[in-house]
Amino acid sequence: MKTVFINTPLGFTEIQGDENGISKIHVMNENVEISIKIPEELKEAVLQLQDYFDGKRTTFTFPLNPSGTDFQKKVWEELLNIPFGKTCSYLDLSKKLGDVKAIRAVASANGKNPLWIVIPCHRVIGTDGSLTGYAGGLWRKKWLLEHENPVKQETLF
């Protein structure tokens, strides 16, 4: 398993993966030393994340290889269907997965997503439109949703 640390507008980020794909992208709350040498297996993920933060990318195409239960992987697959700049509720996600009663399990799987930003768990909000639960902190969720908002608020002054 190869690891690299990059700096993003939301903090230092750890990326792990191998020839089978990227298995972890995690934002950190502490400072780490930025990786100078990027392993070949991680280069595309690093470039695509930089493009995302630069506003040049709305989808990711590098191979993913997250570890999780079958149910978690099913939830994460469904998260990949939420378009850039859009949101859905935990209830909507549960309905799409075929079991409205599974809302807590869906929320739990969402919170265990190992591929920050790439599997867009930040696009899931409360039924009332509130920003609920986000492992990276609600301020990061708010930033990501604003970053992806197709109608950026222009200042009038």
By C-alpha distance, which of 40, 140, 128, 136 is closest to 92?
128
Say if pTM beats, i.e. exceeds, 0.75: yes
- In the structure encoding, which two tokens stand for residue 16, read together? 């792990």
CATH topology match: 2-53 vs 70-148: no
How many of the other CB atoms lie within 10 Å of CB of 17? 25
Rounded distance between C-alpha atoms, residue 18 and residue 59, angstroms: 21
Which CATH fold topology does 70-148 show? Arc Repressor Mutant, subunit A (1.10.10)
Residue 88 φ then ψ, to 5°:
-145, 165
pLDDT attached to residue 152: 57
Residue 153 has pLDDT above 90, yes or no: no
Taking only the tens place, the pLDDT of each residue in 103-115 is 999 999 999 999 9
Per-residue pLDDT band for 151 (boundaries 50, 70, 90) equals low
* 88-89/124-125 β-pairing: parallel
Rounded distance between C-alpha atoms, residue 2 and residue 46, angstroms: 13
Rounded distance between C-alpha atoms, residue 8 and residue 101, angstroms: 37
Taking only the tens place, the pLDDT of each residue in 77-96 is 999 999 999 999 999 999 99
Better-predicted residue by pLDDT, 156 or 95? 95
Active-site annotation, residues:
121
The percentage of residues in the chain with a pLDDT greater than 90, rounded to a whole number, is: 84
Taking only the tens place, the pLDDT of each residue in 133-148 is 788 889 999 999 999 9
The class (CATH top level) of 2-53 is alpha beta
Strand-pairing partners, residue 22, are 17, 64
- Domain boundaries of the chain, sorted by first residue: 2-53, 70-148
CA angle 138, 142, 148 (to 5 degrees): 145
Mean pLDDT within 58-76: 97
